[in-house]
A and B are shown apart, each in its own frame.
Chain A
């Protein structure tokens, strides 16, 4: 089974974690100003790259903390793990 490196607990089995979708999708500063189309884009549209992708993960069966990770969507390899709120790190082979 694949191991995911929790920033707090260290490497743990994948099934201790849950996926939280694309990272760095910030809430619109003024939602009232958005058109329906822009709001729909914020709610429903996410990137779907082939390759490194910044994602949110939570260590649900462990420390129950959220963190961000860059995962290669072709190989499922985790290229980097970093705290919520931190900038996306440059990763080898990543398009950054």
Chain B
């Protein structure tokens, strides 16, 4: 063994799945289908709890640069992430560039005096992006919700079950672009489930090595 120096870089928890995801896209495309599955960039995540009718909300919205969605099962976009409704007094704030003003140390002082809380949950979930014309059909194989854009348009989200795993599902577009947050320890299972469920879109020959 020779010692070598390599710069460290953050690895995505699902990095090792990327060849299998790419093979899926390739084989589905060969059948005339359109399905792209890929690990979504890891984002800093903060779980935010506060009374939506309380005094802390304007300051939080100013810090995040976007309002907290109060309608159940919706999300709003920030410059580099999302604010996702998780409950009547709970939101998930994500930031792909780990903006300091969307992080626990900045948000906590804004809400702590009013009975709220901000907790860093960056390692809690892993995100997958699923898009393409067949995306909704694939999700329908393991998710009971009506994901048709008339019922689940862009800007909507849902905490529900996909296969056997609890997921936080975000509609990025109208019917063909989804962000799937899953608990880190379920990420491998969900990747495997999605690849298995997509078998029927790959064509007749069983895919080697999956």
- Closest Cβ of chain A: how far from B68's Cβ, in Å? 15
A10 CA / B159 CA spacing, docked (Å)? 12
Tell me which residues across on chain B come within 8 A of A12, comparing CB atoms: 144-145, 160
User: A52-96: contact bitstring with B at CB < 8 Å (1 yes, 0 no)?
Assistant: 000000000111110000000000000000000000000000000
Contact of A5 with B by CB under 8 A? no
Q: CB distance A8 to B158 under 8 Å?
A: no
Which interface residue of A8, A62, A64 has the most chain B CB atoms within 10 A? Answer: A62
Tell me which residues across on chain A come within 8 A of B161, comparing CB atoms: 13, 15-16, 61
A65 CA / B72 CA spacing, docked (Å)? 12
Tell me which residues across on chain A come within 8 A of B86, comparing CB atoms: 63-64
Could you pull out 28 A-B pairs where Cβ atoms are within 8 angstroms?
A1-B144, A8-B72, A8-B73, A8-B88, A9-B73, A9-B158, A9-B159, A10-B72, A10-B73, A12-B144, A12-B145, A12-B160, A13-B144, A13-B161, A15-B161, A61-B159, A61-B160, A61-B161, A62-B158, A62-B160, A63-B72, A63-B86, A63-B87, A63-B159, A64-B87, A64-B159, A65-B87, A65-B88
Contact of B13 with A by CB under 8 A? no
- Closest Cβ of chain B: how far from A13's Cβ, in Å? 5
- A interface with B by C-beta (< 8 Å): 1, 8-10, 12-13, 15-16, 61-65
Tell me which residues across on chain B come within 8 A of A65, comparing CB atoms: 87-88
Tell me which residues across on chain B come within 8 A of A13, comparing CB atoms: 144, 161
Q: Mark out the residues of chain B between 158 and 183 whose CB falls within 8 Å of any chain A CB in the assembled complex.
A: 158-161, 166
Picked from A1, A16, A64, the residue with its CB within 8 Å of the CB of B160 is A16
Secondary structure class of chain B's binding surface, majority of residues: strand
- Closest Cβ of chain B: how far from A91's Cβ, in Å? 24
Tell me which residues across on chain A come within 8 A of B158, comparing CB atoms: 9, 62
Secondary structure class of chain A's binding surface, majority of residues: loop
A65 CA / B159 CA spacing, docked (Å)? 12
**B88 to A, closest residue via Cβ:** A8
Which interface residue of B159, B160, B161, B166 has the most chain A CB atoms within 10 A? Answer: B159
A4 CA / B88 CA spacing, docked (Å)? 18
A9 CA / B88 CA spacing, docked (Å)? 10
Q: CB distance A8 to B160 under 8 Å?
A: no
**A59 to B, closest residue via Cβ:** B159
Q: CB distance B166 to A9 under 8 Å?
A: no
- Closest Cβ of chain A: how far from B48's Cβ, in Å? 15
A61 CA / B183 CA spacing, docked (Å)? 12
- Closest Cβ of chain B: how far from A66's Cβ, in Å? 11
- Closest Cβ of chain B: how far from A85's Cβ, in Å? 13
* 8 closest A-B pairs by CB: A63-B87, A8-B72, A62-B159, A13-B144, A61-B166, A61-B161, A65-B87, A9-B73
